[in-house]
Amino acid sequence: MLTRSTAARLLLLVIGSSTAPKSTTRQDGKPPGWRPDQPAENGGEIVERMLRRIGRLGLQPGLFFDEYRTAISDMVAMQEDLRPATLKAANDHTTMTESLRATLERGEKALEWQLAQVERLEASAWARSRKVSDWTAKEMASLLSACNVVDQQDEFILPRLSEAKRQAMTTDLVALLYNFWWTHESMPDDEEAKEITAQTNKDLGYPPPSQPPPMPPQAAPRQDKKRRQKTEL
């Protein structure tokens, strides 16, 4: 069973996973979800630029892009399947159907894939310098190959690319992986997650969470007639 609070938290997990709990993640005077270091571009924009660049180089896209599309598709599906639960009353529940369970499992795999890309970023030269221009040609080619950005048959071409082209490809990849990293590092706490979900639902035109029907008035306790009469005597 899913409560509205749990569903709101899972809904936010479509873009990351929680880190150590903080006292609060809400920024004073800012709307829920606001962060000072939010990336300027979203992942889709970066991916489209990467594909155009790879095409201009005469290379074939690698497995990375199929995995990216699958992960995004599965996370969107999880988001939509969880949304009805976020529109219910706070203490209401949603039945965990086999279909919803399957959607959540695919969403979990998508998150695991994102985390695997984050781990590749943290294991790369990015740990030494976040400026790709500081990287060596070998370090750039290593990350591009580890993420399967180009088809395996084309990987031998990566070290032969001009410095400008190799650096441009790596810069795009690092920007995308940084998006993943930032999302996981910036996950809201439970309270802010509920606020973000409520605002998102409102922006999409959904009604506010329904409220449970009021409890029926309790009847006054019945007294035993004989006991009452005895007491009066």
Task: List alpha helices for 124-209, DSSP H.
Answer: 137-146, 163-185, 190-203
What SS3 class is residue 219? coil
Longest pairwise C-alpha distance within the chain: 108
| Amino acid letter, 78 | M
Using one digit for the tens of pLDDT, what is the confidence trace for 79-90? 888 877 777 766
State mean pLDDT over 136-147: 95
Whose tokens are 């988001």? That residue is 79
Q: Decide: 7 and 80 in contact? Cβ < 8 Å.
A: no
- Intra-chain end-to-end CA distance of the chain, in Å: 56
With cut-offs at 50, 70 and 90, classify the pLDDT of residue 16.
Answer: very low
Residue 173 tokens, joined: 């990849």
Q: Decide: 59 and 157 in contact? Cβ < 8 Å.
A: yes
Using one digit for the tens of pLDDT, what is the confidence trace for 74-113? 998 988 888 777 777 666 677 778 888 898 899 999 999 9
pTM of the predicted model as reported, rounded to 2 decimal places: 0.74
* Residue 4 pLDDT > 50: no
- Give dist(CA 174, CA 13) in Å, integer: 22
With cut-offs at 50, 70 and 90, classify the pLDDT of residue 18.
Answer: very low
| Amino acid letter, 102 | A
Q: What is the DSSP letter of 113?
A: H
Domain positions in the chain are 2-18+42-200
- Give dist(CA 108, CA 190) in Å, integer: 19
With cut-offs at 50, 70 and 90, classify the pLDDT of residue 142.
Answer: very high
Mean of per-residue pLDDT scores for the chain? 80
Q: Decide: 211 and 55 in contact? Cβ < 8 Å.
A: no
